[in-house]
A and B are shown apart, each in its own frame.
Chain A
């Protein structure tokens, strides 16, 4: 079975600080894509960042970056200079060419304090 594990149900960070959310996954496929989605209370799933597994370089999007360790099947998300608007559920997911659906973790709830 293909699985995604997010070991931190809840995380807290102070405004302007840095936080890292963990994710490990398990797939036997060699070609896949990884994603972090953000889900605020509005329920809208918003793409934060994506990583192609064949790329060694870690993806970055402004204050968001990932640490992709392919051999360890680890895909953590770092949020720098945290803002109040970053408070949300964060989901790690991956997709492979053996099935079009994304496989999601259970999420990490991020609280940002002033």
Chain B
């Protein structure tokens, strides 16, 4: 079946603008994760959605970052008033739902803030 998809693949924006990044998880996966990968670094957890439960936002670096998910479907990560330090690859992953389930990743969105 189809894997995790993300759009856009690349996004260039100017400092101070808002951006929206989209993630379509694997059908049937109840868990969805957002991670950030800065150049030369590992992945940093941002936010986690599980079904209709309240999301775990503990990894969001500032109140400029927010995310929504429609049921067990699409998720949108929004960054307001972008800063140059927000430049990174933003990766989305989904899993069937259990904590021990393997997470399957999308191809990511490369965000460049000028």
A4 within 8 A of B: yes
> Which size bracket describes the interface of A in this complex?
20 to 34
A100 near B107: Cβ-Cβ < 8 Å = no
Contact check, A47 vs B40: say whether CB atoms are below 8 A apart. Answer: no
Interface assignment of A25: CB less than 8 Å from any CB of chain B: no
A-B contact count (CB 8 A): 60
- What class of interface size applies to chain B in its complex with A? 20 to 34
- Is there contact, CB below 8 Å, between A100 and B48? yes
* Interface pair B108/A43, CB less than 8 Å apart: yes
Residue A97, interface by CB 8 Å: yes
Distance A50 CA – B48 CA, assembled complex (angstroms): 21
Task: List residues 64-114 of chain B with CB under 8 A from any CB of chain A.
Answer: 89, 91, 93, 99-100, 102-108, 110
Cβ of B100 and Cβ of A33 under 8 Å apart? yes
Binding-face segment, A14-22, A64-72, A75-83, A102-110? A102-110
8 residue pairs, one from A and one from B, having the closest CB atoms: A101-B45, A104-B42, A45-B105, A104-B43, A43-B108, A106-B42, A97-B99, A44-B107
